[in-house]
Chain A
Amino acid sequence: MISIRNLRFSYGGGAFSLTVPELHIGAGEKVAIIGPSGVGKTTLAALIAGILTPQRGQVVVDGVDLAREPDHRRRNFRIAQIGFVFQEFELVEYLCVRDNILLPYYLNDTLALTPAVRQTAESLAGSMRLGDKLRRYPRTLSQGEKQRVAICRALATSPKLLIADEPTGNLDPQTAQVILELLIEEVRRRGATLVMVTHNHHLLEAFDRTVDIEAFAGGGA
């Protein structure tokens, strides 16, 4: 599913650089990326999603070398094939739960918003115990509910790959456990690949594999 070779990335003018000699993640695998703060976990997630492009090396996702694709193709690929869950939820405050879940369909014309899609989104919300909150706005939701909405949004396009960047970082341990279980259950049910950035070692048991980014040569600031 994901194949990274000789990757090197640095932000313009900064001292930070990320080097990943080789990393392969198979389809349907659930991988946790760990490492101390500032080591480049989020940067790696952004490189896998095609949000950032490396100065050197390859990032191939589902057979597509994202580093060689222009921005519009990377966006179209990302919105259709990759779901993204953020640490801060990043819900749109002026949209209700239903519209937040359907946001990818509003943002990119390559996705068709059909009645079937709406139906799927509603049943997805139901499976995340949000069925009675579809008309509510983010400000009225708890932290756990907000993250569940964010997971629904990431899964709404039925992506093959789900990237979660510390999705439990802002949650209490109990809620974090519940969210992780829901996330893994949905990913397993869909046969999707999960790449999750975390520094919470208590959650690692739920994953097939752990990648410590600090172990890569040249990693770290």
Chain B
Amino acid sequence: MKNVLRLAWRYVAYHKAKTVILTVCLMLTAMLPLAAHLLISTYGESLTARARATPLVIGAKGNRFDLVLKALYFSKAHVEPVHMRTVDAINDGGLALPIPLHLRYTARGYPVVGTTLDYFDFRGLRVVRGTGLRALGEAVLGAEVARREGLGPGDSIYSDQSNIYDISKTYPLKMHIVGVLAETGTPDDEAVFVDLKSTWIIDGIIHGHADVVKNPNPAVVLKKEKENVVTNAAIVEYHEVTPENIKYFHMHGERADLPLSAIIVVPHDRKSATIFKAHFASSKTERVLVPAKVVQELLGLVFRVKRFFDANFALITVSTALFLVLVVMLSYRLRKREMETMYKIGCSRRMTFWLQAAELGIVLVMGLGLAGVVAIGIVQAVPYFVHGL
């Protein structure tokens, strides 16, 4: 067998062009279905696991897939806001723990997750370097963000400018990194966590500027009526929260109106969950979703599309197999004399068969092996190219 392999290898190594063409042909045929299968099984499993770990999600009525993907995987999908009054109502109801999420912004392309400390407990997130969130304007990085960007406690990160052509929008917020989370293999690794109020600063809803009531600057004051001071656009707003200026941050309006992207809800027990869902069933603006069901439905759609592709791949595989048979048959005819010479020298007919089979086997192994390597490479590379789905 060793000699058969030796001769077969010499043949495929000598006929480089033929070998490369057949190998690439096999690789391309096998790589796509293999990559699709690996991607679906890998991401299907991680999608399902995170969904199963999240009991309920509340959000504005709209696309249920967008809402679940946003709340669980921090996708870039746009969802209509819900408000803090819903969080207050859940707290008042006493049936569940609400974990608000505000997910409109990014920093260096990574999602900025505005939430409360309950989120860290709920997901089991542990700080491995530095400390957790303690004050406004602080950030804790997911493990992958810290690794890729080379950031850690003591560094700072700016929120991304949402619209560089509109100067009336708020400027990026400089956030002080105080900690890095342990790696979890979930979307939390690729997020920047801040306090909910910090995301409202990026929104411009909470803002800070010099006190124009006690120390009015004539250059910025347009009108002054008792305690109400109207300023022009020249007033300088703070784009970084420091111990010195933190006292100047404030908001105008009602806390109940503050926007959120979604609310993760953790019912205290099964009965509470049922009552809770029944309560929100009649809401005209909000909806309660069970993420596990939504993700299952989403994967069902993916599998339906995959079945179509599988049928396509099957046809391609058959045509490639026929192409290979043709190549083998032509090769056999071209090499009949070579095989006859080997027989005359003293080689068995069986060995000449195995010799050609081994040549095909080597090409198959190379083609399929390469397909496997490329497919695994694609699965590994997908997270680098697809931020936040």
Residue numbers of A with Cβ under 8 A of B are 46, 49, 51, 71-72, 75-76, 78-80, 84, 86, 90, 92-95, 99, 103-109, 113, 137, 153
Contact = CB atoms under 8 A, between A and B. Distances in A.
Given A76-B346, A84-B344, A92-B338, 9 more contacts: A75-B346, A79-B347, A93-B14, A94-B11, A94-B13, A99-B10, A106-B6, A108-B348, A113-B3
A72 B346 CA distance: 9
A131 B341 CA distance: 25
A109 B351 CA distance: 10
B337 interface: yes
Given A94-B14, A94-B15, A108 B337 contact: no
A109 B3 contact: yes
B7 to A, nearest CB: 6
A80 B13 CA distance: 29
Main SS class of interface, A: helix
Contacts of B6: 106
B336 to A, nearest CB: 12
Contacts of A90: 337-338, 341
B341 A86 contact: yes
Contacts, number: 58
A92 B347 CA distance: 14
A46 B345 CA distance: 11
B12 to A, nearest CB: 9
B342 interface: yes
26 contacts: A49-B344, A72-B348, A75-B343, A75-B348, A76-B346, A78-B344, A78-B346, A79-B346, A80-B346, A84-B344, A90-B341, A92-B341, A94-B11, A94-B13, A94-B15, A95-B7, A104-B345, A104-B346, A106-B6, A107-B345, A107-B346, A107-B347, A107-B351, A108-B348, A113-B3, A153-B345
Contact of B342 (A94, A107, A109): A107
Main SS class of interface, B: helix
Most A Cβ at <10 Å: residue of B7, B344, B345, B346: B346
A71 B11 CA distance: 27
Interface in B308-366: 337-338, 341-348, 351
A94 B338 CA distance: 11
Contacts of A93: 14, 338
Contacts of A71: 348
B10 A94 contact: yes
Contacts of B345: 78-79, 84, 103-104, 107, 153
A75 to B, nearest CB: 5
Given A76-B346, A79-B345, A94-B14, A106 B337 contact: no
A95 B10 contact: yes
Nearest to A105: B3
Contacts of A94: 10-11, 13-15
A71 B346 CA distance: 10
Nearest to B15: A94
A109 B6 CA distance: 13
Nearest to A78: B346
Contacts of B343: 51, 75
Contacts of A80: 346
B4 to A, nearest CB: 8
Nearest to A103: B345
Nearest to B351: A107
B9 to A, nearest CB: 10
A111 to B, nearest CB: 8
A16 B88 CA distance: 106
B299 to A, nearest CB: 50
B90 to A, nearest CB: 76
Nearest to B12: A94
Contacts of A75: 343, 346-348
Nearest to B337: A90
Contacts of B13: 94
A86 B338 CA distance: 12
A99 B14 CA distance: 13
Contacts of A137: 14
A51 B343 CA distance: 8
Contacts of A95: 7, 10
B14 A106 contact: no
A41 B13 CA distance: 38
